């Protein structure tokens, strides 16, 4: 499903001609199988978010290749990447990233609008997702009218409304209390088991990592622990 081969990445800091090169990832080899739930853990600055951004195509690796669903995505143009990303990835964020001026329904509907799905099908899919995350009664509420847990469930519904084969999650429970964290992990586990969605989750939370099939640990830009996948 996802294969990272010999990937390194570095950033240049400072004025042009006086840049300081800062290595972030070094020689990363990693593979995620279809239907797996994999947690990427490590201290702040270990390269976790950079790796997620590389896999999702928001930045390009300095060295190495990344393949997703058998396609070498590091060779895609920006336009091709945008189309590929919309069709194959769902995203979950710690900060939810909901649009304040849109209702819960409209936030979930947005990916379908961008993909050009007809209005009747959009309504049906959004209502299905609202029911799945237990927010049917909150469809017309704005993010400011929802609790943190409810906002995260809207974020989950938006990530999944296009039925992507892969979901990339960056600290998805970081803004939640313990009760809402347990509810979100239960929902993610159900979606993984029932629909075979592949989850790649960045987390500092041991409880989140414990729900994954396996854990990949990053330290100083290198993988130091990566259990063999089944």
Which CATH number characterizes residue 185's domain?
3.40.50.300
> Considering the domain boundaries, does residue 51 fall inside one?
yes
Number of domains within the chain? 1
**Mean pLDDT to the nearest integer, 78-105:** 91
Q: What is the pLDDT of residues 186-229, one digit of tens each?
A: 888 988 998 899 999 999 888 888 899 999 999 999 998 655 44
Residue 39's DSSP bridge partners are 201, 215
> Considering the domain boundaries, does residue 148 fall inside one?
yes
> Considering the domain boundaries, does residue 73 fall inside one?
no
Among 69, 50, 72, 71, which Cα is nearest to 61's? 50
> Considering the domain boundaries, does residue 155 fall inside one?
yes
> Considering the domain boundaries, does residue 8 fall inside one?
no
21-30, 103-112, 181-190: least confidently modelled range: 181-190
> Considering the domain boundaries, does residue 220 fall inside one?
yes
| Average of per-residue pLDDT values in the chain | 90
Q: What is the pLDDT of residues 99-144, one digit of tens each?
A: 999 999 999 999 999 989 999 999 999 999 999 999 999 999 999 9
> Considering the domain boundaries, does residue 69 fall inside one?
no
> Considering the domain boundaries, does residue 145 fall inside one?
yes
**Mean pLDDT to the nearest integer, 36-41:** 94
**Residue 85 clears pLDDT 60, i.e. is over it:** yes
Question: What is the domain extent for residue 112?
Answer: 34-60+88-225
Pairwise CA distance, residues 121 & 117, whole Å: 7
What does the pLDDT read at residue 180?
Answer: 85
Among 118, 72, 68, which Cα is nearest to 88's? 68
**Residue 167 clears pLDDT 80, i.e. is over it:** yes
- DSSP result, the chain: -EEEEEEEEEEEESSTTS-EEEEEEEEEEEEE-TT-EEEEE--TTSSHHHHHHHHTTSS--SEEEEEETTEEGGG--HHHHHHHHHHHEEEEETT----TTS-HHHHHHHHHHHTT--HHHHHHHHHHHHHHTT-GGGTT--GGGS-HHHHHHHHHHHHHTT--SEEEEESTTTT--HHHHHHHHHHHHHHHHHH--EEEEE-S-HHHHHHSSEEEEEETTEEEE-PPP-
């Amino acid at each position: 499903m996802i294969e990272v081969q010999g990937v390194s990445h570095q950033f240049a800091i400072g004025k042009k001609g006086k840049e300081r090169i800062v290595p972030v990832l070094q020689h990363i080899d990693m593979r995620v199988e279809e239907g797996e739930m994999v947690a990427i853990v490590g201290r702040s600055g270990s390269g976790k978010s950079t790796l997620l951004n590389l896999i999702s195509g928001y930045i390009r690796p300095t060295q190495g290749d990344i393949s997703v669903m058998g396609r070498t995505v590091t060779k895609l143009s920006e336009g091709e990447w945008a189309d590929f990303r919309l069709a194959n990835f769902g995203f979950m964020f710690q900060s939810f990233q909901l649009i304040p001026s849109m209702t819960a329904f409209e936030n979930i509907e947005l990916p379908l609008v961008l993909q050009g799905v007809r209005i009747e099908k959009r309504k049906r899919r959004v209502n299905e997702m609202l029911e799945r995350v237990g927010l049917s009664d909150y469809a017309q509420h704005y993010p400011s009218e929802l609790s943190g847990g409810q906002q995260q469930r809207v974020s989950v519904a938006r990530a999944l409304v296009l039925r992507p084969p892969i979901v990339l999650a960056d600290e998805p429970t970081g803004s939640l209390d313990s009760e809402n964290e347990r509810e979100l992990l239960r929902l993610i586990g159900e979606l993984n088991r029932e629909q075979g969605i592949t989850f790649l989750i960045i987390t500092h939370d041991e409880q989140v990592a414990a729900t994954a099939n396996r854990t990949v640990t990053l330290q100083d830009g290198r993988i130091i622990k990566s259990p063999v996948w089944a």
